[in-house]
Structure 1
Amino acid sequence: MNKEQPILTISVTARLLGLHPRTLMAYEKVQLISPHRTATKRRMFTGKDLDDIQFLKYLSQERKINLAGIKFILEAIRVAQGNDVNLIKALFPDFRVRALL
């Protein structure tokens, strides 16, 4: 499967991740995720989105970090990746992406 192809609806994505669709909408509202939109404005998710949302879920539910803290962490990760540093592995060695598809 091409991980960049937007093929999953919000309900399927939520079910695969064990989240409520409203949680995904909340993540989108605070700009933690940016799902693709169809011509009719339906949200569509990719395999990469699933991986990214798993990390958000891990930070929120396992590490008990609020959305503002998650935004800060994600920005630090983006900056570090520009310097070839993998902060996810360094700071969260117990996080593993599960194959959902």
Structure 2
Amino acid sequence: MHIKSSNIVSGDIVSRSDRFVGVYVISVAARLADMHPQTLRKYDKEGLVSPQRSQGSRRLYSDSDVERLRVIRRLADELGLNLNGVSLVLDFVVALSEILELLENSVDSPTIESNQYVISQIRKLLSFVRAV
């Protein structure tokens, strides 16, 4: 389950609107992330990272994509997670960040609808975590 394609940077989420700060072909992105280009292809195929494509279908990695690759590497190398575990952690962080944003925004305008929405999102997240 992939919630949405966002990136983790030092515990924060960087939106896809920041995607084109830097654009790198796969060989450069692999070098920056300290990975083999084939690993980047595998992660793209698995949905862990979603680089943009050029008109010629070449993968183009942004700075935030490279940072996401570094996070994936740390989760796999330092925590020993497999790719499914990495995907779950990334999805979980995105979901928690979205809930946090909802909670922060609902403080300014507490309404029954917004509170119900936050509660439903928390329930979905809990169901997801319990299914793991």
Tell me whether the two structures share a fold, i.e. TM-score over 0.5.
Answer: yes
Residue 79 of structure 1 is aligned with which of 95, 120, 128?
Answer: 95
CA distance in 1, matches of 2:28, 2:56: 18
Q: How many residues align?
A: 83
Tell me the equivalent position of 1:4: 19
TM-score between the two structures when normalised by the length of structure 1? 0.76
User: Structure 1: which 5+ residue stretches go unaligned?
Assistant: 86-101
Matched, 1:29 2:45: yes
- Partner of 1:52: helix, strand, or coil? helix
Identity %: 30
Residue type of the partner of 2:42?
A
CA distance in 1, matches of 2:32, 2:67: 11
Shift of residue 22 of structure 1? 0.6
Tell me the equivalent position of 2:61: 45
Shift of residue 63 of structure 1? 1.1
User: Structure 2: which 5+ residue stretches go unaligned?
Assistant: 1-17, 102-132
Residue type of the partner of 2:19?
E
CA distance in 1, matches of 2:97, 2:26: 28
Where do residues 51-90 of structure 1 align in structure 2 (5 Å cutoff)? Answer: 51-84=67-100
CA RMSD of aligned residues (A): 1.4
CA distance in 1, matches of 2:79, 2:68: 16
CA distance in 1, matches of 2:26, 2:70: 14
Greater helix fraction, Structure 1 or Structure 2: 2
Q: For the pair shown, which has the larger CA radius of gyration, 1 or 2?
A: 2
- Partner of 1:83: helix, strand, or coil? helix
- Partner of 2:66: helix, strand, or coil? helix
Structure 1 residues 2-39: Cα deviation after superposition (integer angstroms, max 9, x where no partner): x5215200000101111000111111111000000001
Residue type of the partner of 2:67?
D
